[in-house]
């Protein structure tokens, strides 16, 4: 524990705990994903390229949450897809548990898929509307031939219970659920194969304010119970500061700053991080007025 770590009193952390993280689970080095812009009549000629991910390096340690924050077009979603080999990186290295996975074929990736799962932003679009919840959550187990029959049903019910959904949800369709409940279903599906690493891409930004806190707290509990490691991607630096142990700020395809969540939010070094933090509207009218006056006179 570091000197400025949690202060213990009567065995309880009185300052908010941050996770230290164990060994390196994921190591990304000089990752690039470029999209060529082609023109030409008969033969396409590359005239320029969009550098969506432009030389990104970071690591994620076992048991921690890395927050990846950036605005639209910063490349954060493409970075996730390139790390998970859902799109082929242009160059660079991605090592999961020490093993190079960049450039692996789909077949070679398949056994690794169970180790790395994803939670999506839009719980309406990411669930098949024609399947029942039990099928949706059980699908990954079935695909990998994990279980069958009664055992499958038992596993699915246990997963639903973990995310706070009752057994009556098993035979219902996604449209019968609210946005927050659908996100719980998406989380149950992601957990089905007992992954080590979960990429959550804007998991709460489509939800109502009162529901966002429920999902954030659920992810937090699951991390404690299951020892999960998260990469939490979001544009809202307020949410990211709450969930993340460390934060990487992305801008124009590059990581411009990395550090502990408190360091990045309280003592940002990079000018872009500073402008991002300054633009967040504070739910505090007096401070908002003070800030307007300083900006007005400055």
Partner 1 sequence: MSALLSVRDLRVGFATEGGLLQAVDGVSFDLVPGEVLAIVGESGSGKSVAAQTILGLTRSPNARIEGSVRLGETELIEADDAAMRRVRGARVAMIFQDPMTSFNPVYRIGAQIGEAIRAHRPDASRGETRERAIELLGSVGIPDPESRVDSYPHEFSGGMRQRAMIAMALALEPEVLIADEPTTALDVTVQAQILALIERLNRERGLATILITHDLGVVAETADRVLVMYGGRIVEEGTLDEIFYDPQHPYTWGLLDSLPRLDQPRQERLRQIGGSPPSPIDLPPGCAFRPRCPYAFDRCGELPGLEARLADSPAHRDRCWLSPGEKREARK
Residue with tokens 């998991």: 203
Total residues contacting partner 1 (rule CB under 8 A)?
A: 45
Quick check: 47 binds partner 1 (CB under 8 A)?
no
The residue from 44, 175, 282, 293 that contacts partner 1 (CB under 8 A) is 282
Q: Is residue 163 close enough to count as binding partner 1 by CB under 8 A?
A: no
For the chain, give the DSSP string: --TTSPPEETTEESSPP-----SEEEEEEEEEEEEEEEE-SSS-EEEEEEEEEEEEEEEEETT-EEEEE--TTSSHHHHHHHHTTSS--SEEEEEETTEE-TT--HHHHHHHHTTEEEE-S-TTTSS-TTS-HHHHHHHHHHHTT---THHHHHHHHHHHHHTT--GGGTT--GGGS-HHHHHHHHHHHHHTT--SEEEEESTTTTS-HHHHHHHHHHHHHHHHHHT-EEEEEES-HHHHHHH-SEEEEEETTEEEEEEEHHHHHHS--SHHHHHHHHHSPPS-HHHHHHHHHHHHH-
**152 is a contact residue toward partner 1 (CB under 8 A):** no
- Contact between 140 and partner 1 by CB under 8 A: the answer reads no
Contact stretch for partner 1 (CB under 8 A) within 22-30, 88-96, 125-133, 212-220: 212-220
86 binds partner 1 (CB under 8 A): no
From candidates 62, 65, 212, 223, binder to partner 1 by CB under 8 A: 212
Looking at residues 228 to 247 of the shown chain, list those that interact with partner 1 (rule: CB under 8 A).
Answer: 235-239, 241-242
Binding span for partner 1 by CB under 8 A among 77-85, 99-107, 131-139, 175-183: 175-183
Q: How far apart are CB 21 and partner 1 at their closest, in Å? A: 17
> Is residue 211 a contact point for partner 1 (CB under 8 A)?
yes
Stretch that binds partner 1, among 57-65, 84-92, 143-151, 282-290 (CB under 8 A): 282-290
Binding test (CB under 8 A) with partner 1, winner from 279, 294, 297, 298: 279
CA dist 97 and 60 (Å) reads 10
Q: Which is nearer to partner 1, 64 or 92 (CB)?
A: 64
Beta carbon of residue 154, minimum distance to partner 1 (angstroms, whole number): 27
List residues binding partner 1 (CB under 8 A).
13, 15-17, 71-72, 178-181, 208-214, 216-217, 220, 235-239, 241-242, 261-262, 265, 275-288, 292
């Amino acid at each position: 524990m570091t000197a400025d770590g949690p202060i213990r009193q009567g065995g309880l952390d009185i300052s908010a705990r941050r996770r230290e993280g164990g060994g390196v689970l994921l190591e990304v080095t000089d990752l690039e994903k470029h999209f060529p812009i082609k023109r030409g009549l008969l033969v396409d000629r590359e005239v320029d390229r969009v550098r969506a991910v432009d030389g990104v390096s970071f690591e994620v340690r076992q048991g921690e949450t890395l927050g990846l924050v950036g605005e639209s077009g910063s490349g954060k979603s493409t970075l996730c897809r390139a790390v998970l080999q859902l799109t082929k990186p242009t160059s660079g290295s991605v090592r999961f548990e020490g093993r190079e996975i960049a450039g692996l074929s789909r077949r070679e990736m398949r056994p690794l898929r169970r180790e790395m799962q994803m939670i999506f932003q839009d719980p309406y679009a990411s669930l098949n509307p024609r399947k029942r919840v039990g099928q949706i959550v059980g699908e990954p187990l079935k695909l990998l031939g994990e279980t069958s029959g009664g055992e499958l049903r038992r596993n699915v019910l246990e997963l639903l219970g973990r995310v706070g959904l009752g057994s009556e949800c098993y035979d219902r369709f996604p449209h019968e659920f609210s946005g927050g409940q659908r996100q719980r279903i998406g989380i149950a599906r992601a957990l089905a194969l007992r992954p080590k690493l979960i990429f959550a891409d804007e998991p709460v930004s489509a939800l109502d304010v009162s529901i966002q806190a429920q999902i954030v707290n659920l992810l937090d509990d699951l991390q404690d119970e299951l020892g999960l490691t998260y990469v939490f991607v979001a544009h809202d630096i307020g949410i990211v500061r709450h969930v993340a142990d460390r934060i990487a700020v992305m801008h124009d395809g590059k990581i411009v700053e990395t550090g502990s969540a408190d360091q990045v939010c309280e003592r940002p070094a990079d000018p872009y991080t500073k402008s991002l933090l300054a633009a967040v509207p504070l739910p505090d009218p007096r401070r908002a007025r003070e800030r307007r006056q300083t900006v007005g006179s400055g």
